[in-house]
Amino acid sequence: MSNGESPRPSDQDAVNRRWRLWASTGAGAIVVVAIVIGFFVISSRGEGGVTGALGLDHVHETPEAVAQTAAGALPTDVAWTAATLGLLEDADPEAGRAIAVQTCASCHGEAGIAVAAAFPNLAGQPATAIFKQLSDYASGHRVSPMMAAMAQGLTAAQMADLAVHFAAETPAESIVDANPPAAIVQLVVNGDPARGLPPCSACHSARGGPVGTPPLGGQPAAYLEQQLTAFAAGERGNDIYGLMRAVAGMLTPAEIAQLAAYYGN
Amino acid sequence: MNSSPNRLVAAHIWVAFIAFAVAAVMGAWQMLVRSPIDAPLETAETYFVSVTGHGALMAYVLPTLFVMGFGYYVAMTALKQPLPGLRWAWAGFYIAAIGIVMAVVTVLSGQATVLYTFYPPLTGSVFFYLGVLLVVVGSWIWVAVMITAMMKWKRANPGAAVPLAMFATVANAILWLWTTAGVGAELLFQVLPASLGWTDSIDAGLARTLFSWTLHAIVYFWLMPAYIAFYTILPKVAGGRLYSDTMGRVSFILFLLYSLPVGMHHLFMDPEHGSGFKFLQMMLTALVTVPTLLTIFTIGASLEIAARLRGGKGLFGWVRALPWDRPMVLAAGFSFIMLGFGGFGGLINMSYAMNSMIHNTSWVTAHFHLIFGGSVVIMYFAIAYHIWPKLTGREARSLTPIRVQLWLWFVGIVITSFPWHILGLFGQPRRVSSFDFANPEIAYWGPWTTVSAIGGFIMLAGAALFVWNLATLYRGAAADRTMSYAMAVHQPREVPRVLNGFGLWNTLVAVLMIVAYAWPIAQFFFLDTYPAPVQRVDVGG
């Protein structure tokens, strides 16, 4: 269309037809090229194929789906949906106490303070953290013959009752190391960007971290060291995204021991 | 033209710029909070209250009210006919004004620190969302008035070419109607029910998808007044003519087409969509370079015509012959420079691969401040300066404070946004209230954020001087109140029907939107989804 050359009215229909044709063809051609490249050329080089290009294989990242892509195995059945959180909201701590006295007290103590350093303190842990671990023991995502036997005998509602019961107990006092090694404080507060290590405190904080994350202060140091070592070796694998396995795998055994001492009693 | 329509225009523009001035204070303070310098009232809570207020005022109130006011003015002056539905227009204004007060009070009371982009499952007080929705409802009345005005003019002038300024304004009105559909659906069907406590979970993936529908097109909605000024005011002020009217029409149509099916480039790192749609929308995003380059060529040619008429010589020497002392020309020059830098930055953001370098870093905030705060808002200033004598009937007593103000703004935005971009390349995250500059890992960010904060205060000075100029400067000689627009070199009496209306283009937008968004939205309704539990920020609210 040359600039400003107004067509006579009799030409209008022909001019309009040309515009409609070329505008639609142009827009259509661009879309076709984009679809061919986006859905076929690129996807044929990746792992996802056409379903990946459509978003079918990584859409709606459930913990299950995430786990399968991130770590190759299912880490947990627990998803923090409104239903799961509602279960905890409606749980009954008194019913939980009754179960705790019968089943949990011999190792974890009646008030949630463990009787030996191999067992974690449950008092004051977030209900979400306790609930997730119980569910994972029952489903086998966290492996422990002893805990599996205990947890498999519980319904989801009973696990929730136990979780809110222990959450309400007074946590063990955290014995703070007066002079922690500077490198360990650095790991806790800032991580180590050179290794791609996030700071521990980003999630494990007394102020609370992501849902289901336990604070670490006041746990037995031996228990913490044992768990970090298990994550590093891949023996424990109920962490979403494989995050703890990745982090612990990058720590040296000495760092694991020092971190356990830093947080633990 | 009687005084009431003029008051309508002035009321919109005043509300826009009062919101702008308040938000400018917030913005400068936020820059200080993020720098190593101590700011008064510095806490994370006050920071996010301020960011939400700054974003809502700058992104929703300033551009929407400015575009509405300027649109009413164009409809009256370009079409040379009374505004149809003046009462409706006032009703739209008051609805928007009520919405603004509602949203601002809610944000300032700390009941809606969800940022202007809402970020569900974060959920705040319902009055924030209702306030924003009322602003949108008010603007829909403006859309109806704009379309009605054009249709009325076409009936009265059968076969004649709709003046370019009005054609572009209606393109923007239609663009806005399409744009608001996404966020409107998100608010009505997801955010409001959650905010009212009717639902306890919200599908964040769907919400982000619907918001992405709006998020890029809204940027072109903000940008259009600047382009309208480039095409229809600047060539005349510079002393020449518009090189091509057709080029203008094609550019505005292309903006309408390629601002909408492209929003997914904001979701490149999101897991809820596949790579195919991301690539498709990336390619459509890239097409915005076409109207941009058309505009650079056309406006460059128009300015060259003006400069050579003024005796300009040489291959580029003519640039010096332009009347740079005229605020509209000066502002347009600054705007082009910022558009150039911002545009190149934008190419990185819209690239599926390169985006991952700068995603969620300060680079992105720096980019949209440079493009919107810089190249667009400086043209809002220029437009206001240009039409104020016609609205008030008085010339400015002096142009010097206006030139100083434009320089302040330009220098301020460059000093603010250039180091800010660099901080993004260093990896500084956005949406973070403060940094521990004592940490050796990031200590070197300190000087850059300090320079950026100084730029923020230069901008604040520019903002204050702007409001002062508008309020006090226009008391000079009696002004000619006639608004006239640039003539094209070949001023069209008629244009092809497809370039004089939006029937074909609306159809194409619909087709492109179906291609780009039908599956990405539909998937949420027939695949298993896991909505996120609502996270309330207005505890006890």
Mean pLDDT within B140-160: 97
Give the span between the Cα atoms of A66 and B520, in whole angstroms: 20
Using CA atoms, how far residue B262 sits from B79, B177, B209, B367, in Å, is 33, 16, 11, 18
pLDDT, tens only, A41-93? 877 766 567 777 776 654 444 545 444 444 446 789 898 888 899 999 999 99
Chain B CB contacts of A39 under 8 Å are 276, 279-280
Measured between CB atoms, which of B159, B278, B530 is closest to A81?
Answer: B530
Identify the CA nearest to B327 among candidates B252, B409, B248: B409
Mean pLDDT within B179-185: 97
CB environment B485-523: b (16+ within 10 A), e (fewer)? bbebbbebebbbbbbbbbebbeebbebbbebbbebbbeb
Using CA atoms, how far residue B324 sits from B237, B295, B402, B406, B483, in Å, is 10, 20, 12, 12, 21
Sign of the dihedral defined by the CA atoms of residues A70, A76, A77, A82, in that order: negative
- Is there a contact between B498 and A23 if contact means CB atoms under 8 Å apart? yes
Look at residue B2 in the predicted model and tell me its pLDDT. 46
User: Which residue of chain B is at minimal alpha-carbon distance from A15?
Assistant: B496
Look at residue B287 in the predicted model and tell me its pLDDT. 93
Strands B532-533 and B201-202: antiparallel
At position B249, the amino acid (one-letter code) is: R
Look at residue A48 in the predicted model and tell me its pLDDT. 64
Out of B367, B381, B410, B502, pick the active-site residue.
B367
B430 is catalytic: yes
User: Which residue of chain B is at minimal alpha-carbon distance from A35?
Assistant: B280
Contact B463, B21 (CB under 8 A): yes
Mean pLDDT of chain A: 87
Residue showing tokens 């191999």 = A118
Look at residue B339 in the predicted model and tell me its pLDDT. 95
Identify the CA nearest to B151 among candidates B495, B503, B501: B501
pLDDT, tens only, B221-231? 999 999 999 99
CA distance to partner chain A, nearest, from residue B437 (Å): 12
Identify the CA nearest to B182 among candidates B134, B226, B117, B130: B117
Flag whether pLDDT at B392 surpasses 90.
Answer: yes
Locate B184 and state its tokens: 């409107």
Identify the CA nearest to B172 among candidates B209, B138, B155, B147: B147
pLDDT, tens only, B425-458? 999 999 999 998 998 889 999 999 999 999 999 9
Give the span between the Cα atoms of B393 and B395, in whole angstroms: 7
Flag whether pLDDT at B305 surpasses 60.
Answer: yes
Q: Does A4 touch chain B (CB under 8 A)?
A: yes
Look at residue A66 in the predicted model and tell me its pLDDT. 47
Instruction: Show the 3-state SS of B34-82.
Output: HCCCCCCCCCHHHHHHHHHHHHHHHHHHHHHHHHHHHHHHHHHHHHCCC
B541's enclosing H/E stretch is: none
Give the span between the Cα atoms of B134 and B95, in whole angstroms: 6
A209 three-state secondary structure: coil
A81 three-state secondary structure: coil
pLDDT, tens only, B475-531? 999 999 999 999 999 999 889 999 999 999 999 999 999 999 999 999 999 887 778
Classified by CATH at the fold level, domain B3-536 comes out as Cytochrome C Oxidase; Chain A (1.20.210)
Share of chain B above pLDDT 90, in %: 93
Mean pLDDT within B40-66: 96
Flag whether pLDDT at B209 surpasses 50.
Answer: yes
Out of B116, B265, B430, B502, pick the active-site residue.
B430
In this structure, how many other beta carbons lie within 10 angstroms of the beta carbon of residue B484?
A: 12
Mean pLDDT of chain B: 95
Share of chain B above pLDDT 70, in %: 99
At position A41, the amino acid (one-letter code) is: V
B367 is catalytic: yes
Chain A CB contacts of B534 under 8 Å are 82
Using CA atoms, how far residue A138 sits from A77, A105, A133, in Å, is 10, 19, 9
Look at residue B386 in the predicted model and tell me its pLDDT. 98
pLDDT, tens only, B250-272? 999 999 999 999 999 999 999 88
List chain B domain ranges.
3-536
Mean pLDDT within A239-258: 94
CA distance to partner chain B, nearest, from residue A169 (Å): 25
Flag whether pLDDT at A256 surpasses 90.
Answer: yes
Mean pLDDT within B303-315: 95
Give the span between the Cα atoms of B229 and B78, in whole angstroms: 13
Look at residue B218 in the predicted model and tell me its pLDDT. 96
Partner residues linked to B202 by β-bridges: B532
B421 is catalytic: no
Look at residue A240 in the predicted model and tell me its pLDDT. 86
B12 is catalytic: no
Flag whether pLDDT at B146 surpasses 90.
Answer: yes
CA distance to partner chain B, nearest, from residue A101 (Å): 33
Look at residue A60 in the predicted model and tell me its pLDDT. 46
B202's enclosing H/E stretch is: strand B201-202
Flag whether pLDDT at A3 surpasses 80.
Answer: no
Contact B19, B29 (CB under 8 A): no
Cβ contacts of B61 within 8 Å, gap of 6 or more: B15, B16, B19, B20, B23, B100, B135
Give the span between the Cα atoms of B377 and B417, in whole angstroms: 14
Contact B424, B364 (CB under 8 A): yes
Look at residue A10 in the predicted model and tell me its pLDDT. 60
Identify the CA nearest to B137 among candidates B176, B111, B85: B176
Flag whether pLDDT at B297 surpasses 80.
Answer: yes
Q: Does A21 touch chain B (CB under 8 A)?
A: no
Identify the CA nearest to A173 among candidates A130, A219, A214, A205: A219
Strands B201-202 and B535-536: unpaired
Look at residue A213 in the predicted model and tell me its pLDDT. 94
Out of B60, B119, B211, B220, pick the active-site residue.
B220
B369 is catalytic: yes
Contact B255, B175 (CB under 8 A): yes
Cβ contacts of B471 within 8 Å, gap of 6 or more: none
What confidence category does residue A6 fall into, taking pLDDT thresholds of 50, 70 and 90? low
Out of B431, B437, B524, B536, pick the active-site residue.
B431
Residue showing tokens 């013959």 = A145
Range with the lowest mean pLDDT among A70-84, B3-17, B233-247, B291-305?
Answer: A70-84
Give the span between the Cα atoms of B394 and A35, in whole angstroms: 57
Q: What number does CATH give the domain A82-263?
A: 1.10.760.10
At position B180, the amino acid (one-letter code) is: T
User: Which residue of chain B is at minimal alpha-carbon distance from A56?
Assistant: B274
Mean pLDDT within B300-329: 96
Look at residue A70 in the predicted model and tell me its pLDDT. 45
Partner residues linked to B122 by β-bridges: B535
